[in-house]
Amino acid sequence: MRLPRFKYLGPETLDQALDLLNTHKDDAKILAGGTDLLVRMKKGLLKPKALISLKALNELSYIKKQDGYIKIGARTPLADIIASDLIQKEARALFQACEKIGAVTIQHYRGTIGGNILQDNRCHHYNQSDFHRSGRQACHKDGGKICYAREEADRCNSTCQSDGATALMALGAGIILAQKGGKRTVDLTDFYTTDGIMPHAMESHELLKEIIIPVQGGQSAYHRLAYRSAIDYPIVCAGVFLKPSQKNEIADARIVVGAMSRSPLFLAQASSSLKGKKLNDTYAFKKAADVSMDSAATFAVHNVGATLEYRCAMVSQMVIQALEQAAAAIKA
């Protein structure tokens, strides 16, 4: 399978990369590890005229703790994140999520954290060959007006299956988007749109530079369901964060459910229901998990294989198991 032709641009510095982005805008795509981008190009889902490679930009590959944040360069390979003591100890959900992505050869060395959280949404009906898609009316994501995943839907119902995004959102992470002559910081919960066509709010002249995770003293966990032990995208996943108070109660909680909808879902109601509860209050966990399921179900779409009913039912399972892991980690 060959790639369509494109022009390869290899900036040496971040500034050069931003210059190029500013010039080419929509005609260019950023190439980090290529494990998502090149596949989509081979399928004809994307036809950029130019690729701006981050290969030379080692300045975008790091993991460090600074000013109360864990900072991760966007081009950091997943393998480095998995191997990082800092991440394993202080952002465990992210470690658990990265470990589950793809398979070692496919993703971990080439795949980057930036690429993972910027991966395009998927849908059984959309992620097909050019030829397959050409035999029918275009769906919303293909520039058309119909949806194959949900009849008569007036918008795209693709799913964000990023493991990394779910974990990071649970960790309360933000991202730094750079552009020529400036940058902005966006909270991940605000970054993802509810639009399946353009799943996140990054402008075409912007580049994901850094991911920042606040160090807030607590424990996180990530749990996912897939049919196989490797290669699979999650069919449901949950990332949670629990911050204990001095009385061993839950001072703050964040529950995020992924692979159910157009973006990872931060579930405010379920999260706040845990405040003030004991760390061993399994009833509260169960209740939070049920609330999570109800909230997530509203957004769920049948588009990634397993039935909707099953995936909804599994939300509470994933949430409860993640909560128990996080609570156990605090106790330890």
Partner 1 sequence: MTTNISFLLNGDKISYEIKDHWTLLHLLREEMGLIGTKEGCGNGECGACTVIVDKLAVNSCLYLAIDVDGASIETIEGLASTNGTLHPLQQSFVDKGGIQCGFCSPGMIMSSKALLDENPRANHEQIKHALAGNICRCTGYVQILESVEAARDKGGQNE
Partner 2 sequence: MNNLNPDTNREFSVVGKRIPKLDAAQKAMGRAEYIQDIKLPGMLFGKILYSKHAHADIVKIDTSKARALAGVHAVLTGEDVPKKMKMGFYKDNPPIKKGKVCSFRDEVAAVAAISPEIAKKALDLIEIEYEELPGIFDPEKAMEKDSPLVHEYHKSNVLNLPWKLHYGDVEKAEKESDFVVEEKFTTQWVTHCCLGTSGAIALFDSNDNLTIHTNTQIPSLAQKDFLESLKAMGLVNKRVRVIKPIIGGGFGSKLDTYAYEHISILLAYACRKPVKIMFDRVEEFKATSTRQPTVIYIKQGCDKNGKLTFRDMRMVLDNGAYTSWGATTPSVMMMPITSLYRVDNVRFNAKCVYTNNTYSQAMRGYGNPQATFAIESTLDMLAEKAGIGRVDIRRINRNQPGDITPQGFKITSCGISECIDEVEKEFAIDGPKEKGIGTGIASLIHVGGGARIYKSDGCGAILKMDDYGKVDIFTGGTDMGQGLDNITAQIVAEELGLYVEDINVVHTDTDVCPWDVGAHASRSTFVAGNAALGAAKKVKETILEYGSKFLDADPEDLVLRDRAIFVSGDPEKSMPIDKLLRKAHFSPQGKMLMADFFYDPDNENMGKEFKGNMSVTYAFGAHGVKVKVDEETGKVQVLDYVAAHDVGRAINPLLLEGQVYGGVVMGLGYALTEEVVTRNGQNMNANFRDYKLFTAKDAIKIKAPVVETYDEYGPFGAKGIGEPGCVPTAPAIANAIYDAVGVRIFDLPITPEKVLAALKEKKSATTEI
Residue 43, CA distances (Å) to 6, 46, 235 in order: 15, 8, 22
Min separation Cβ 143 and partner 2, Å: 18
Nearest approach, Cβ of residue 135 and partner 2 (Å): 3
Closer of 101 and 327 to partner 1 (Cβ): 101
- We find the least distance from the C-beta atom of residue 133 to partner 1, in angstroms, to be 16
Rounded to the nearest whole angstrom, what is the least distance from the CB of residue 312 to partner 1 in the complex? 28
Residues that bind partner 2 (CB under 8 A): 1-2, 103, 124-125, 128-129, 131-132, 134-136, 225, 227-233, 305-307, 309-310, 313-314, 317
Residues at the interface with partner 1 (CB under 8 A): 1-8, 10, 31, 34-35, 38-39, 42-43, 51, 53, 55, 79, 102-106, 109-110, 229-231
Residues in a beta bridge with 266: 256
Q: Which is nearer to partner 2, 313 or 328 (CB)?
A: 313
182-187/174-179 β-pairing: antiparallel
Q: How far is CA 165 from CA 93, 98, 157, 247, 331, in A?
A: 10, 10, 18, 31, 26
Strands 28-31 and 50-53: parallel
Partner in contact with 136, chosen from partner 1, partner 2, none, beta carbon below 5 to 8 Å by kind: partner 2
The residue (of 198 and 231) whose beta carbon lies closer to partner 2 is 231
Q: Shortest distance, CB of residue 107 to partner 2, whole angstroms?
A: 12
The CA distance from 6 to 80, in Å, is 30
Q: Residue 302 corresponds to which tokens in the numbers above?
A: 């049948």
- Shortest separation between residue 99's beta carbon and partner 2, angstroms: 12
Pick the closer one to partner 1 by CB: 5 or 247. Answer: 5
Is the backbone of residue 150 left (phi > 0), alpha (psi -120 to 50) or beta? beta
Measured from the CB atom, the residue of 129 and 307 that comes closer to partner 1 is: 129
Residue among 48 and 258 whose Cβ is closer to partner 1:
48
Give which of partner 1, partner 2, none residue 35 binds (C-beta under 5 to 8 Å, depending on kind). Answer: partner 1
CA 172 – CA 254 distance, rounded (Å): 8
CA distances from 168 to 32, 189, 241, 266 (A): 19, 10, 10, 11
User: In residues, how long is the chain?
Assistant: 332
List the single partner that 129 binds among partner 2, partner 1, none, CB under 5 to 8 Å by kind.
partner 2
CA gap 204, 202 in Å, rounded: 7
